[in-house]
Structure 1
Amino acid sequence: MTQIADGLARVRARIRAAEEQYGRPEGSVELLAVSKTKPAAAVREALAAGQTAFGENYVQDARDKQEALGPGDARWHFIGPLQSNKTKLVAPHFDWVHSVEREKIARRLSEQRPSNLPPLNVCIQVNVSDESSKSGLQPAAVPTLAHAVADLPNLHLRGLMCIPAPAEDFDAQRAPFRQLRELQEQLVREGLRLDTLSMGMSVDLEAAIAEGSTMVRVGTDIFGARD
């Protein structure tokens, strides 16, 4: 077993243990392997170990990997801050975007998504910890954007994403994830059909799963330290 395959196995075991501990069905939490800064060879190793979903922060870095790997089973998730001048590359070459926070960006993604592809899956990024250094909408602003995004023809609004401030205490870790879940529940009551909570990373995935995460984003514990 390669180092990457071993890392994947350990993270999957953590996810499964948390599913069991917090009464979540087996397989209800998807692993998104964050491959940013890692070479195409590392993604190829992960693919060989059965991982198909990969998270990228940098558009050109991801495009280089996509071109090196060619067509295949990989599904590409853009998880970094997205500027207007990058939507033209993201719209046709990714399956998901987790970091929508402006209607302008959402409209550009919808307009630039090729008609021969299925709608682009998107999540709205929420700044649950009110950190000035973090991207994402304030929670109060999310419903207006969510309804606008849901009406765009070439996007499929799937749910919400957050990157909370670090916390060591387990209850403190759970609090922002609970806030995101409750916000999503509010949107569902307003008529939106959402199924994704993209929350939890290496240090806090158990807390995220306890609060309803459906997708955890893990990089270092799979691929090793960032290059």
Structure 2
Amino acid sequence: MNSLQTSRNLVLEQIKNACKLANRSENDVQLLAVSKTHPSEILQEMYETGQRAFGENYLQEALDKIEKLKNLEIEWHFIGHVQRNKTKHLASNFAWVHGVDRLIIAERLSSQREASQAPLNICLQVNIDAQDTKDGCSPEDVADLVKTISQLPHLKLRGLMVIPAPNNTQAFADAKFLFEKVKTEHAHPEDWDTLSMGMSGDMVDAIDAGSTMVRVGTALFGARDYSLK
């Protein structure tokens, strides 16, 4: 068994145990492999372990990998900050975009997604604990954004994404409360099923609070090589 298979098995076991402690099914939590700064060869090796969902932060790096790995059935997630001048590439090349925090971004993604493609899955990024250094809309703006964005064509608004400050486990509970509260504002509440929160160091607490998708990089791939950025 190679090291990537071992790492993935360990992470899946952590997810399984966290779900058991929270009285949840392990099938309720998806593992998103955060592959930024890792070369396409490593992603292919991880794919061979059974991993299908990969998250990228840097657009050009991601586009290069998407081209190199186009023969693999990878579900590509963009989890970095979304800038207006990048929406066309995101709309064309990704299955998910997690960092939507403004209506104009959602409108651009909607208009630039081809009708022939499956709807683009998006999550609203919420600055759940009001960090000065984090992107995301304020919790107070979420309900209005959900009402509007959930009616745009070519998009499927799936839920929320949060990145709380380290050790702020209360923020996970706050995100879960907000997630449930605004579900009634969704034009298609059956689509509202994703609470993306938790990373290598805090995914147990995130799962306990109700996370349905954990974004894991270091625990899967080891330390990042930032020379690739």
State whether TM-score is above 0.5.
yes
Letter in 2 for 1:12: L
Q: Residue in 2 aligned with 1:187?
A: 182
Q: Residue in 2 aligned with 1:76?
A: 76
Q: Residue in 1 aligned with 2:52?
A: 52
Letter in 2 for 1:90: L
Q: Please state how far the C-alpha of 1:189 moved relative to its aligned partner.
A: 3.0
Q: Determine the C-alpha separation between the residues in 2 that align with 1:98 and 1:190.
A: 19
C-alpha RMSD of matched pairs (Å): 0.9
Q: Residue in 2 aligned with 1:203?
A: 201
1:113 and 2:92 aligned: no
Report if aligned partners of 2:81, 2:99 keep a CA contact under 8 Å in 1.
Answer: yes
SS of corresponding position for 2:129: coil
Q: Residue in 2 aligned with 1:217?
A: 215
Structure 1 unaligned spans of 5+:
none
Report if aligned partners of 2:195, 2:212 keep a CA contact under 8 Å in 1.
Answer: yes
Q: Determine the C-alpha separation between the residues in 2 that align with 1:62 and 1:3.
A: 23
Q: Determine the C-alpha separation between the residues in 2 that align with 1:73 and 1:209.
A: 27
Q: Residue in 2 aligned with 1:103?
A: 103
Letter in 2 for 1:10: L
Q: Residue in 2 aligned with 1:143?
A: 143
Report if aligned partners of 2:150, 2:186 keep a CA contact under 8 Å in 1.
Answer: no
Q: Determine the C-alpha separation between the residues in 1 that align with 2:154 and 2:204.
A: 34
Q: Residue in 1 aligned with 2:20?
A: 20
Runs (4 or more) in structure 1 with deviation over 6 Å come to none
Q: Residue in 2 aligned with 1:31?
A: 31
Letter in 1 for 2:182: L
Q: Please state how far the C-alpha of 1:20 moved relative to its aligned partner.
A: 0.7
Q: Residue in 1 aligned with 2:127?
A: 127
CA shift digits 1:74-121 (9 cap, x unpaired): 100000001011011110100000110011110000001011111100
Q: Please state how far the C-alpha of 1:21 moved relative to its aligned partner.
A: 0.8
Q: Determine the C-alpha separation between the residues in 2 that align with 1:92 and 1:219.
A: 25
**Alignment TM-score, normalising by the size of structure 2:** 0.95
Count of aligned positions: 222
SS of corresponding position for 2:172: helix
Q: Please state how far the C-alpha of 1:147 moved relative to its aligned partner.
A: 1.2
Report if aligned partners of 2:96, 2:122 keep a CA contact under 8 Å in 1.
Answer: yes
Structure 2 unaligned spans of 5+:
none
CA shift digits 1:169-189 (9 cap, x unpaired): xxx42x111111111111123
Q: Please state how far the C-alpha of 1:191 moved relative to its aligned partner.
A: 4.5
Q: Residue in 2 aligned with 1:178?
A: 173
Q: Determine the C-alpha separation between the residues in 2 that align with 1:191 and 1:4.
A: 39
CA shift digits 1:60-85 (9 cap, x unpaired): 10110111112321100000001011
